[in-house]
Amino acid sequence: MGQAKSAMSIGVSLAAVAIGFAAMVNYAAAQSAQPEAGAAVIAQGKTLVDSGGCAGCHTAAGAPAFSGNVLGTWNAPSLLNDPHNGLGTWTADDIAAYLRTGHNRYADASGPMAAIITGSTSKLSAADADAIGAYLKSLPAPAAGATAAALPATDPAMAAGQHIYTDECAACHTEAGTGLANLFPSLVASPVVAAAQPVTLVHVLLHGAQSVGTAQATAAAMPAFGGQMSDQQIADVLTYIRNSWGNAAPAVTAAQVTAAR
């Protein structure tokens, strides 16, 4: 509850920022003809991100800015340029599309970010959303950590999880995990799927989710599987998606699912 409230107040202040910065749109358009446009646009994006409270949700206490956070039952993913656990595969255009519509070819917002999108970032001008995208892409990639090895396909949880995935998930997210642009999120190279703490995964599998509808994109629903699948089955299918298609992340245990019910 407290979280929803703070999300709303952040959303409101961001909306005010969007209006306040409407004047900067013309400035950005004028600047884009100049050689230094890149730097000016990035600076504009930084101003919007700083005043929008983005770091507050996307940074854990004591961690580097934008390196990701856990908000109750949702991961606020890393916004850094890491291809496996951040926005490394996203272009500035992908970021702008997500902020304005709640959807893009990789992701569909349905958690706390949905309120931020509805209340404020969907109202950003194209130039402001582009500026935020340019700024986030200008952030340095995090230092490469030790890369975990994916569990082998022969692991019992992986084998069980693959069966469940083919039967219950592939129709929407596709056998290759790539989903469908603007409708079913990609499970490949997704910071949500590879997050150290799989809180969004467990929550969404148990309870389902509804992605945000905006003027530009319709909402799609993720069914709840909590009623029809055991904790072990949910753990296995999540372990499978966390260790397939180039993903590598610790297995999810049945105990983690039980604790979240």
Task: Locate 56 and state its tokens.
Answer: 């507050």
Is 107 a binding residue for ligand HEC by CB under 6 A? The answer is: yes
Q: Which of 146, 144, 148, 140 is nearest to 65 (CA)?
A: 140
Site string for ligand HEC, 205-244 (x = CB under 6 A): x---xxx--------xxxx-x-----------x---x---
Minimum CB distance to ligand HEC, residue 213 (Å): 11
CB-nearer residue toward ligand HEC: 38 or 56: 56
Q: Which amino acid is at 243?
A: N
Is 142 a binding residue for ligand HEC by CB under 6 A? The answer is: no
Minimum CB distance to ligand HEC, residue 147 (Å): 19
**Rg, Å, the chain Cα set:** 19
Is 54 a binding residue for ligand HEC by CB under 6 A? The answer is: yes
Residue with tokens 């090895």: 149
Site string for ligand HEC, 55-74 (x = CB under 6 A): -xxx------------x--x
Asked if residues 135 and 46 have their Cβ atoms less than 8 Å apart, the reply is: yes
Is 171 a binding residue for ligand HEC by CB under 6 A? The answer is: yes
Which residue in 18, 24, 105, 111 binds ligand HEC (CB under 6 A)? 111
Residue with tokens 């854990």: 60
Residues 60, 179: Cα–Cα separation, whole Å: 29
Residue 211: which residues within 8 A CB-CB, separation 6 or more? 102, 103, 108, 109, 110, 114, 185, 219, 220, 221, 222
Is 92 a binding residue for ligand HEC by CB under 6 A? The answer is: no
170, exposed or middle or buried, with CB in 10 Å at 0-12, 13-18, 19+? middle
Is 114 a binding residue for ligand HEC by CB under 6 A? The answer is: yes
Minimum CB distance to ligand HEC, residue 125 (Å): 14
Asked if residues 52 and 79 have their Cβ atoms less than 8 Å apart, the reply is: no
Asked if residues 79 and 89 have their Cβ atoms less than 8 Å apart, the reply is: no
- Site residues, ligand HEC (CB under 6 A): 7, 10, 14, 49, 52-54, 56-58, 71, 74, 76-77, 79, 95, 98-99, 107-114, 116, 121, 132, 168-169, 171-173, 184-185, 187, 190-193, 200-201, 204-205, 209-211, 220-223, 225, 237, 241
